[in-house]
């Protein structure tokens, strides 16, 4: 599982100076999302590793949180590219050339965190390319386009058919 994840991110990241990979926070107890999706009394102690079946992870907030930490660590230590990983536990880079000044945020959704980090990157003089399987961040991007510099771009497509728009 983690090898495929790291390889996929490396493939996307290879054309960039640095890539920030932002994971959902799963930090806010009793959020609206929690109330609608998860059992408040869940006590899952499932260990997450490369042998864990994905379908056994996604129904629990705790195991999803463990999955994000597991994949983030694997990415940080096994990626061949410059990576900054953003999780509830912290913001860390695998390379000293990379600036990682944004601290941990209480924002729960990666969509919002992406925008926060993009603003910081633009302020240091770099341009920003966005990639997400989700579409919610697009609304946030359009709302904040004025503070994201002249060239925020979106990476779209699948595998070898990706393009920047």
Query: Which residues span the domain enclosing 58?
Result: 2-164
- Identify the pLDDT of residue 98: 76
Distance in angstroms (rounded) separating the CA atoms of residues 6 and 8: 5
Residues in the chain with pLDDT values less than 70:
26-44, 99-106, 159
* Adjacent-strand bridge partners of 155: 164
- Identify the pLDDT of residue 5: 94
Pairing of strands 83-87, 90-93: antiparallel
- Identify the pLDDT of residue 128: 85
- Identify the pLDDT of residue 57: 83
- Identify the pLDDT of residue 2: 95
The number of folded domains in the chain is 1
DSSP-derived secondary structure letter, 52: S
- Identify the pLDDT of residue 106: 67
Structure tokens at 89: 């536990």
Other beta carbons within 10 Å of 151: 11
Side-chain-side CA neighbours of 8 within 13 Å: the count stands at 13
Does residue 142 come out as left (phi exceeding 0), alpha (psi in the -120 to 50 range) or beta? Answer: alpha
* Cα angle: 81, vertex 87, 89; to 5 degrees: 120
- Identify the pLDDT of residue 59: 75
* Cα angle: 34, vertex 23, 74; to 5 degrees: 125
- Identify the pLDDT of residue 38: 54
């Amino acid at each position: 599982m983690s090898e495929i994840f790291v390889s996929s991110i490396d493939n996307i990241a290879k054309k960039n100076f640095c890539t920030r990979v932002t994971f959902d926070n799963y930090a806010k107890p009793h959020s609206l999302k929690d109330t609608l999706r998860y059992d408040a009394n869940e006590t899952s102690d499932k260990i997450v590793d490369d042998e864990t079946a994905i379908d056994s992870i996604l129904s629990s907030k705790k195991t999803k949180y463990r999955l994000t930490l597991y994949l983030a660590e694997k990415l940080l230590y096994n990626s061949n590219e410059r990576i900054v990983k953003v999780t509830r536990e912290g913001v860390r880079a695998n390379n000293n050339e990379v600036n990682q000044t944004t601290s941990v945020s209480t924002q729960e959704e990666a969509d919002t965190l992406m925008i926060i980090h993009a603003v910081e990157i633009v302020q240091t003089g770099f341009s920003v390319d966005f990639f997400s399987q989700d579409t919610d961040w697009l609304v946030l991007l359009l709302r904040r386009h004025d503070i994201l510099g002249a060239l925020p771009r979106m990476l779209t497509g699948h595998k070898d058919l990706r393009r920047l728009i």
